[in-house]
Structure 1
């Protein structure tokens, strides 16, 4: 039996379709423009002739960027910062969220209130820098990784997810002789892939795009991440190769944006289904 839609329903669907198409255009156009500008002649980009499709195709900008050794040093730094930060964040967040999900934990409410307090107030930039400095972490990977290791928001999302897991599974594992750590590693975490993938993706993207911490805590250029190099090109206007000619400066900016964004765009499709599940769980249960 075919259900007849009312005029208001059809208008609502048409309005939603137009809005969705508009959002797609708004999100896709910058990506197409940046890619087109990166493979166009610099003069065409500077003069504003590149609006959507590339003009006078050339890979000169990519050649200048790719063959610069500083790019690969900063790329490696970004990869290791992102990997270490994401892994340690998932470990620390799950280790803290699991006991907080148990009502029998002594002082649970106090700990949760203290954690919630950090959502509203923080120590500030200068005290944080002084702590990092006194601990001797300046110009090390730990200055980038440790200060932002645990996000309170992610902690509450993971705690909520753990609370929703059936307690019977943990009770059965305990009867079979598993301790608390074994229950967490063998039962809880394998069932928590959606929330782990979601938090891991958010953490990885944030760390991949981060540059402010590196500006504050790193003085050694060999420790700079990719975003510092991108910042120098986009904001400071410095040449990738130092004091060289600026004939490809504009296209190099767009080439660097493509190179810096590509890894995240390639990773996202593989964990999309877990990301969607984790986002829905956090929204419904949180």
Structure 2
């Protein structure tokens, strides 16, 4: 059967709208990328849109020549990997425990966890606590305080609650204990939600900078986000790491924000396609039941 005229019109309009949405979504990324490779004259004049104008890589070259940048970049990778591993482990076991109705004090523990989403000790008590624990100037100051995201835990808890109880009963009859059921039965069936939570935590740790800025005073321990933040502050304030001339400083001041965004989001953009297929299904499966 041939499509009706109204359906053909619908498809055309729908295609135009979707293309417009795609353009609106992608344009800021392309614009930032174009600015990062443009000269300061065109950037200040507002003439850079989708294509670089006055191709220039002085800022990239300045950043790449600085050994501290690569040290801090390595720190970010380490913090992200370790932090994500700790967060996934703690969130998974906490969510799995709370998903069991037979757990004594389940409602209290859930309300206690939710309470922390709205109230915390404040900046100064947290700072005093981290220092008293000896976490200052160490990786633990970054990966431990925010190890569990209650929002992520609640999503994972809902996902576990929707799994058939018969699976665990059958595994228990076969001789598996609680840990065996979790690691050999439940987790292999939870790849979607696990990949989604892993992406959430990895992005959070990768973009984090305030914890390191607050709890660390050794440049060798900074993540790359703090390095780039200091580079922006230096360029806008008149002194930049690696800048050796007034012209170089002017160029860095013009497009340092664009370069910063590109260097920060590039690794995440490269990883995202590999977990994208799990992303939507993981969130949807975990939000079916509240």
With the length of structure 2 as denominator, give the TM-score of the two structures. 0.89
1:240 corresponds to which residue?
A: 241
Find the partner of 1:59 among 50, 57, 74. Answer: 57
Distance 1:5 1:88, change over 3 A: farther
- Which structure 2 residue ranges, 5 or more long, are not aligned? none
1:229 corresponds to which residue?
A: 227
Distance 1:234 1:153, change over 3 A: same
Q: CA deviation at 1:192?
A: 0.9
Deviates more, 1:40-49 or 1:105-114: 40-49
Q: CA deviation at 1:10?
A: 5.8
1:274 corresponds to which residue?
A: 278
Q: 1:1-286 to 2 correspondence within 5 Å?
A: 4=4, 14=13, 19-236=17-234, 237=236, 238-241=239-242, 245=246, 246-249=249-252, 250-286=254-290
Aligned partner of residue 214 in structure 2, secondary structure: helix
Q: CA deviation at 1:25?
A: 2.5
Q: CA deviation at 1:176?
A: 1.7
Q: Find the aligned partners of 1:283 and 1:116 in 2 and give their Cα distance.
A: 16
Deviation per CA, 1:223-255: give whole Å up to 9, x if none: 111111221233453413267540421234422
Moved over 3 A (4+): 1-7, 9-14, 16-23, 242-245
Q: CA deviation at 1:13?
A: 8.2
Maintained 8 Å contact 1:85/1:207: yes
- Which structure 1 residue ranges, 5 or more long, are not aligned? none
Q: CA deviation at 1:18?
A: 5.3
Q: Find the aligned partners of 2:190 and 2:90 in 1 and give their Cα distance.
A: 15
Maintained 8 Å contact 2:158/2:287: no
Deviation per CA, 1:193-214: give whole Å up to 9, x if none: 1111111111111111111111
Maintained 8 Å contact 1:37/1:45: yes
Q: Find the aligned partners of 1:274 and 1:31 in 2 and give their Cα distance.
A: 23
Maintained 8 Å contact 2:158/2:288: no
Maintained 8 Å contact 2:232/2:256: no
Q: CA deviation at 1:82?
A: 0.8
Maintained 8 Å contact 2:155/2:283: no
Q: CA deviation at 1:143?
A: 0.4
Q: Find the aligned partners of 1:2 and 1:109 in 2 and give their Cα distance.
A: 58
Q: Find the aligned partners of 1:55 and 1:279 in 2 and give their Cα distance.
A: 41
Maintained 8 Å contact 1:97/1:155: yes
CA RMSD in angstroms, aligned pairs only = 2.3
Q: CA deviation at 1:166?
A: 1.5
Maintained 8 Å contact 1:88/1:149: yes
Maintained 8 Å contact 2:159/2:287: no
Q: Find the aligned partners of 1:13 and 1:248 in 2 and give their Cα distance.
A: 45
Q: CA deviation at 1:38?
A: 1.7
Size of the aligned set, in residue pairs, is: 284
Q: CA deviation at 1:171?
A: 1.6
Q: Find the aligned partners of 2:81 and 2:230 in 1 and give their Cα distance.
A: 24
